[in-house]
Amino acid sequence: MNRIKIPVILAIIFFLVMLSIIGLTISQDNYNLISNKANFIFNIIIATTAIISSIFVISSYIETNNAFILSQKPYLLIQLENRHNVYTKEPVTRIAYTNISNNSFEDLSINITIHSDDKKINCNDLFNRNMYMASRDSRIRDFEVLNISLNKGFDINNITNQGKSVKLKVSYEFTFLNRLNKINVQEYEWSFEKQLWEIL
């Protein structure tokens, strides 16, 4: 939105400057430097019109170029699913992720953090770091969240049974145009009664 406003503001400024110059020119009785006021005013109008047109042409080019660059950016769809181990009945968290763009990720990293009010663990080791992921590729990762977190010293059920909140946050990061992009996807809260994650 700001990019659209800038050329409009510049055009208004140049238009007001043009009106000021024309007003000063007309108001002067003795105009020794330019004998033909009409020609001078006409030239000012032509020059200002050309400048304003150039502003919008350049702005249009920049917007088109930016749109093309953004079209080359990859996008990831991440979904969390609550499942259970068919044998042990333990809660299983499934992270399903799909590259929904026509562009590849060269160094995709998925981040999973689980935290309460006073403690935080990360489960980033569940995924390979700096992954290559082709266009339209889909993958899933299942893990028994209670066991994984307990091995890291974080007892989800014990914490939630004390009335405290336990949340899981999903994010991913990748490099695009030599800049690190960090995308926060979604946050979930553990339900002790249902033994599953609920979306916030």
CATH number for the domain that contains residue 87: 2.60.40.10
Weakly modelled stretches of the chain, pLDDT under 50: 1, 31, 33-34
Q: How far is Cα of residue 43 from the mean position of the Cα atoms in its chain?
A: 46
Both 7 and 62 in one domain: the answer is: yes
Both 45 and 82 in one domain: the answer is: no
Both 166 and 127 in one domain: the answer is: yes
* pLDDT confidence of residue 198: 96
* pLDDT confidence of residue 4: 53
- C-alpha angle 114-120-124 in degrees, rounded to nearest 5: 55
Both 80 and 178 in one domain: the answer is: yes
Exposed/middle/buried for residue 27 (C-beta within 10 Å: 0-12, 13-18, 19+):
exposed
Both 63 and 146 in one domain: the answer is: no
* pLDDT confidence of residue 41: 65
* pLDDT confidence of residue 24: 63
Report the number of distinct structural domains present in the chain.
Answer: 2
Both 159 and 102 in one domain: the answer is: yes
Domain termination residue (choose one: 36, 71, 106): 71
Domain termination residue (choose one: 22, 40, 71): 71
Q: Are 60 and 52 in contact (CB under 8 A)?
A: no
Range of the domain at 7: 2-71
Domain termination residue (choose one: 56, 71, 86): 71
Both 166 and 94 in one domain: the answer is: yes
* pLDDT confidence of residue 36: 61
* pLDDT confidence of residue 1: 47
